[in-house]
Amino acid sequence: MGRVIVIGCGGVATVAINKCCQHPEVFEDLCIASRTLSKCDALKEKLQKNTKTNITTRQIDANNLTELIHFFDEYKPDLVMNLGMPYQNLIIMDACLICKCHYLDTAAYEPEDTDEPNWRKRYEERIKEKNFTAYFDYSYQWEYKKKFEEAGLIALLGCGFDPGVTQAYVAYAKKHEFDRIDTLDILDCNGGDHGYPFATNFNPEINLREVSSEADYYENGKWIRVPAMSIKRQYDFDGVGMKDMYLLHHEEIESISTIYPEIKRIRFYMTFGQSYITHMNCFQNVGLLSTTPIMYEGREITPIQFLKALLPDPASLGPRTKGKTNIGCIFTGVKDGKEKKYYIYNVCDHEEAYKETGLQAISYTTGVPAMCGAMMILNKIWTKPGANTLEEYDPDPFIEALDKYGLPKRESYNPTMVE
């Protein structure tokens, strides 16, 4: 039996809350807490009549530590699921430590203001030391490892699909399929069509910051930097068909390369259509992706936040999106002295995800793992304390839960390799 607070009420949170409410024996009490109370109330109204989970709602500004502490002290959650923005990860982790509850999120910390001098200084140093330029990295949250360990609490970092399930797939491959993994390609394909010339399928600000950044991959202990969208491949995805995909930096490369130093090369690819790329380049060229505030008619605005306000809300794409996603990991390595290949992935249908939760498959493939991760903590199946990514836990019960609750794995022992 668990008491849970979910922070955020966007696409990912809505799916996770839907799924939690299907398991009232685990999620007995759940408080939906977000910036806009009306969204929390509307979701409660929709779900409460069909679930035994006792749902409450609350307006919260997750930037306000005092407000968070007061709220957590009053509600006394076992677990706080941070499914809002990654900007607030550290502040919510602080509140969890003070109020002695577990923590879970789906994206690595990054700052809202990338011009903040202290953060910028550390960022420039990290580029020199590690040679990757993404705004997000795990170092900030890994600094909480000891504090969570000492408190006997879990902070489960990045428990969506990627990051999240992809790292559980690595742990699963290492446990069952390989004595040694040599290479890993993570492929994230969205074959969905929402009919808009341009829309992002999760939070536009985070999505565009990620995709427009310089890309890189990890090889022989080093990060190799390449210009954004400069490495393109084609791949024929099960359930989707042939798609163009581009090499990107992604947060799980950092944790996988740290936890499995044996892996010689790790790359991440994501599919994009030409229309997405043309629009993104145009926004970039005219400065709309900038995170630096400007003055406009006497008011300070941040260009990328203004752009977000113009774009379709990802949570509204559900009824329009058709097609499937296919996300997974292709490995090469050695088992019992023999070289082998292995591909583990999931195919998720946008329309089926919508039928079940009212959201499209990108929110679904993130919200379901978040619920399954919460279940691992509340049912005390995962007990190792600390601020940990998913590679650090037994993948079997988590992957079994995904199989059962909406994201079943598929496997291939003879996959087409990415050149």
Could you identify the residue written with the tokens 């939906």?
32
| Residue among 341, 389, 346, 391 at smallest CA distance from 183 | 341
- Is 204:198 a contact under the CB 8 Å cutoff? no
Assign 3-class secondary structure to 248-261: ECCHHHHHHHHHCC
- Is 282:204 a contact under the CB 8 Å cutoff? no
CB of 136 to ligand NDP, least distance (A): 9
CB of 182 to ligand NDP, least distance (A): 25
CB of 339 to ligand NDP, least distance (A): 31
Of 77, 84, 333, 406, the one binding ligand NDP (CB under 6 A) is 84
- The window from 43-51, 81-89, 213-221, 382-390 that contacts ligand NDP (CB under 6 A) reads 81-89
Could you identify the residue written with the tokens 């005092």?
66
Q: What is the bridge-based pairing of β-strands 27-34 and 54-59?
A: parallel
Which residues 180-219 are close enough to bind ligand NDP by CB under 6 A?
Answer: 202-203, 206
Binding mask 38-57 for ligand NDP (x = CB under 6 A): -x------------------
Binding mask 379-408 for ligand NDP (x = CB under 6 A): ------------------------------
Angle between helices 395-405 and 361-378 (to 10 degrees): 130
CB of 39 to ligand NDP, least distance (A): 5
CB of 211 to ligand NDP, least distance (A): 12
Which residues 156-175 are close enough to bind ligand NDP by CB under 6 A?
Answer: 158, 160-164
111 in contact with ligand NDP (CB under 6 A): no
92 in contact with ligand NDP (CB under 6 A): no
- Is 157:258 a contact under the CB 8 Å cutoff? no
- The window from 32-40, 140-148, 394-402, 405-413 that contacts ligand NDP (CB under 6 A) reads 32-40
Can you tell me the distance from the alpha carbon of 417 to that of 419, in angstroms, rounded to the nearest whole number? 6
Please state, in angstroms and as integers, the Cα–Cα distance from residue 236 to each residue in 232, 233, 271, 419, following that order.
14, 10, 11, 13
Of 17, 21, 62, 245, the one binding ligand NDP (CB under 6 A) is 62
At 88, which amino acid appears?
A: Q
Can you tell me the distance from the alpha carbon of 415 to that of 227, in angstroms, rounded to the nearest whole number? 28
Q: Binders of ligand NDP: how many residues, by CB under 6 A?
A: 35
Please state, in angstroms and as integers, the Cα–Cα distance from residue 140 to each residue in 93, 126, 326, following that order.
11, 12, 30
- Is 205:222 a contact under the CB 8 Å cutoff? no
CB of 209 to ligand NDP, least distance (A): 9
5 in contact with ligand NDP (CB under 6 A): no
Contact positions vs ligand NDP (CB under 6 A): 7-13, 34-36, 39, 60-63, 83-86, 88, 106-107, 158, 160-164, 202-203, 206, 314-315, 362, 366
